[in-house]
Amino acid sequence: MAGHAIEITDANFESEVLASTTPVLVDFWATWCPPCRRLAPTIEKLATDFVGRVKVGKLDTDKNTEVAPNLRISSLPTVVLFQGGKEVDRVVGYVEEAKFHEMFSRVGVK
């Protein structure tokens, strides 16, 4: 995966997301999903702009089939913000970058 966004998988979800000491934004996506492809550049930009402050990752729901159902993710894209191992915010569908800035500010990230 290019850039600063990390690949989140069923195998590393606990260590990369739940055990993280920094907030983690996870984009649940699939290759066949047009809104997911449209959102991808925004997710990568956030990963670059917030490096060191927010961990940004992408989880391909076709390749990783355990985590998304456990989190009741039924529409793509769904982007979830975790802090301290708990979900603190979620958006479903394509949204503009400003929405993510709002989410980050609610957890104290500027």
Q: Which residues are catalytic?
A: 33, 36
Q: Distance (Å, rounded) from C-alpha 77 to C-alpha 11?
A: 20
CA quadruple 19, 105, 68, 42: dihedral, nearest 10:
-120
Measuring CA to CA, which residue among 93, 92, 89 is closest to residue 102?
89
